[in-house]
Amino acid sequence: MRRSGRYGSVRWFAVVSSATAPVLLIGGWILAAALQPAGFDSLRGTISALAGHNATDRWVMTVALLGVGVCHCVTALGLRPIATPARVMLAAGGIATVLVAAFPLPRSGSSGAHQLAATVAFGCLALWPALSRVSGSAPQPVPPALMRAATGVLVTLVVLFCVALAAGVLVGLAERVAAGAQSLWPLTTVLALHPRTRAALGLTRAAG
């Protein structure tokens, strides 16, 4: 894979990890929800509830969350064309996702550790694209306006999830839309850095 920008090319394993993350997350919540007793509503029930101590076969969503977190860390390691602060924040979001699984919801009440981990995960995974600009005069690996727009969309989805959570309306749907979009953006970024994609968009010379 040819070099792109002063940080080099995106590594092959980032392609694998970024593609695996949304498969694990979305496939995990679909399978975990299917294993719950009749009456579980994915439009209202959260992803965390599927990994909580009250869930049936909670290991399914737990393993999925752990895998997603590891995938984000691996993707951050392989996104070499992206500025270091963005990669660090993506990795932080991955670590926080692992902690979401490590501190599940209890059988009753809430968990401060779980809420903190989920807040950090949502925040980091929404904000990292905005930090992707490479400093100095080096050509930008991806258009900064695109990455800022991505952060705007991801932050908006997180805010809508918070509103749904406060109102108690369609919490599960809002969370899945926000979390699903966050899991897909690393893959979108990796594909945008692929030489064939860049050539199709006319960015090959700028990245050279």
34-56: pLDDT as tens digits = 999 988 899 999 999 999 999 99
Q: Determine, yes or no, domain membership for 3.
A: no
Q: What is the pLDDT of residue 202?
A: 57
Q: What is the pLDDT of residue 136?
A: 64
Q: Determine, yes or no, domain membership for 159.
A: yes
pTM: 0.88
Q: Determine, yes or no, domain membership for 72.
A: yes
- List pLDDT tens digits, range 84-129: 999 999 999 999 999 999 999 998 878 899 999 999 999 999 999 9
Q: Determine, yes or no, domain membership for 82.
A: yes
Query: Rounded to an integer, what distance in angstroms lies between the CA atom of residue 10 and that of residue 70?
Result: 17
Q: What is the pLDDT of residue 143?
A: 87
Query: Rounded to an integer, what distance in angstroms lies between the CA atom of residue 179 and that of residue 181?
Result: 5
Mean pLDDT of the chain: 89
Query: Rounded to an integer, what distance in angstroms lies between the CA atom of residue 105 and that of residue 114?
Result: 7
161 neighbors 175 (Cβ within 8 angstroms): yes
Q: Determine, yes or no, domain membership for 29.
A: yes
Q: Determine, yes or no, domain membership for 98.
A: yes
Q: What is the pLDDT of residue 109?
A: 77
107 neighbors 54 (Cβ within 8 angstroms): yes
54 neighbors 87 (Cβ within 8 angstroms): no
Q: Determine, yes or no, domain membership for 1.
A: no
150 neighbors 183 (Cβ within 8 angstroms): no
SS3 135: coil
Count of domains in the chain? Answer: 1
Q: Determine, yes or no, domain membership for 7.
A: no
Domain that holds residue 191: 12-207
Query: Rounded to an integer, what distance in angstroms lies between the CA atom of residue 125 and that of residue 208?
Result: 28
